[in-house]
Amino acid sequence: MRISVIGCGYLGAVHAASMAELGHEVVGIDVDAAKIARLAAGEAPFFEPGLPELLRSAVASGRLTFSTDMADVAGASVHFVAVGTPQLKGSYSADLTYVNAAVEGLLEHVTAGDLIVGKSTVPVGTAERLAAQIDESGTGAMLAWNPEFLREGFAVKDTISPDRLVYGVPVDAEAAATAEAMLSEVYATALEAETPLIVTDYATAELVKVSANAFLATKISFINAMAEIAEVTGADVTQLADAIGLDVRIGRRFLGAGVGFGGGCLPKDIRAFTARAEEIGRGESVAFLKEVDAINLRRRQRVVDLAVDALGGEVLGKKVAVLGLAFKPFSDDIRDSPAIDVAVRLRGLGADVVAIDPEAIENSRRLHPQLEFSDDLETVLGGADLVVLVTEWNEYRHLDPEWAGALVGTRTIIDGRNCLDPKAWRAAGWTYKGLGRP
């Protein structure tokens, strides 16, 4: 099929490259000329495992092209909208400026029978409004909503072999059948592999995405709330998670107590959900998400408080080695990263923060020039008064406490992800502090 992808960020670039990998002819469009230049040269503009290989081969084959000119969507019949929907400044709501601009731009170039497919995460009701606008345009194009569930770090695999596909299609039966058939041609490979498919209305499709993220955020904040209780009772939240996680109705995944969630999705999506629920008169239905958010943000302060404590209350001029900057491993994404938040707060208190991350230093330096960075672990640990692990990259998970102990000034570590073995670290003479563990 001939496909266009509007917005080539973390979602769109992976989607465009993956669709080309599946044999489609794809054009990726973005307003960011620098990003498009790199993509057109077959280079990934951000870190995502597997993406550089995919881009190189798809661009070389000619199946994947990139442009800043929306007119280049002409000839494609399926147009994915994958632009950002960030949190509006000073509000909990989603900023739909980019989605609106992308659809308006597309309407100047689509032709009868084309399918515009929303992939961006949007407040429920957005698709219905856009569908009315598309109808009124007289272009003869249609709208479907196809939420995306990829995880950064596993985005290529998640796009080529998703664990489910959801299509939100128009009410009109004929239009619905056409939209479903077109999307099923796009996703033929995944469907042949028996990927579960749910075909539904626009509102359900939009809500599947935000409720999935709300559920995951709630699961993380639930275990972090238990960590808060464990901290005053002497219980161990990691053992608690193991024990409750053995109940198949609960499950162990997403029960990792620590510094909490971040990134470009969960925090802004739960906030946008509460804002939208209030607009439609159902604020109370998801009011608990405000508590989920508050628990999550408290964990960042908890790490800072533990750090101040560990430094004996005197932070000024102390060297703090911060391990990790990305919001999670296998990504260079620092949007709303708990690691960055902790590093910035410690710096704000006067600590000499030196931070390291295998992929996210460049992004961090651009936005947080007040922090010091090094890509050499020995330099970062050298003479440190305190080590704070905030992103559980494998290189930090598997750090040898003896080796690290010989470098630091003081053997004190805060394990903000509960990913180290406290016994091994204590045996090597370290003061070890986890979150919600004695």
CA atoms within 13 Å, Cβ hemisphere of 286? 24
Examine the residue annotation and report whether 8 is marked as an active-site residue of this protein. Answer: no
Distance CA 259, CA 221 (A): 10
Q: Any idea what DSSP says for residue 263?
A: S
The residue sitting closest to ligand NAD, measured at its beta carbon, is 9
Q: Give the chain's radius of gyration (CA, Å).
A: 23
Least CB distance to ligand NAD at residue 272 (A): 9
Least CB distance to ligand NAD at residue 367 (A): 14
- Output 211 or 374, the one with its CB closest to ligand NAD: 211
Least CB distance to ligand NAD at residue 32 (A): 4
- Output 80 or 222, the one with its CB closest to ligand NAD: 80
* Residues contributing to the site for ligand NAD (CB under 6 A): 6-12, 29-32, 35, 82-85, 98, 101-102, 105, 120-121, 148, 150, 152, 264-265
* Sequence-separated (6 or more) residues with CB below 8 Å from residue 322: 339, 342, 343, 346, 353, 354, 355, 356, 380, 388, 390
The burial class, CB within 10 Å (0-12 / 13-18 / 19+), for 230 is: buried
Residue in 8, 83, 156, 265 annotated catalytic: 265
**Structure tokens that stand for 215 in this block:** 């559920």
Least CB distance to ligand NAD at residue 29 (A): 5
Least CB distance to ligand NAD at residue 36 (A): 9
Q: DSSP string spanning 77-113?
A: SEEEE----PBPTTSSSB--HHHHHHHHHHHTT--TT
- Distances in Å between the alpha carbon of 201 and those of 124, 170, 286? 11, 7, 21
Residue type at position 293: D
Least CB distance to ligand NAD at residue 133 (A): 15
- Output 145 or 393, the one with its CB closest to ligand NAD: 145
- Distances in Å between the alpha carbon of 290 and those of 92, 118, 219? 10, 27, 14
Residue type at position 129: R
The burial class, CB within 10 Å (0-12 / 13-18 / 19+), for 40 is: middle
- Output 222 or 273, the one with its CB closest to ligand NAD: 273
The burial class, CB within 10 Å (0-12 / 13-18 / 19+), for 1 is: middle
- Output 35 or 219, the one with its CB closest to ligand NAD: 35
The arrangement of strands across the sheet holding 319-323 comes to 372-373, 352-356, 319-323, 386-389, 412-415, 431-433
CA 222 to chain centre: 19
- Output 9 or 50, the one with its CB closest to ligand NAD: 9
Angle between the N-to-C axes of helices 266-279 and 202-233, in degrees from 0 to 180, rounded to the nearest 10: 120
* Sequence-separated (6 or more) residues with CB below 8 Å from residue 293: 217, 221, 267, 270, 271
Least CB distance to ligand NAD at residue 280 (A): 20
Least CB distance to ligand NAD at residue 209 (A): 7
**Structure tokens that stand for 397 in this block:** 């998970």
Residues assigned a catalytic role: 265
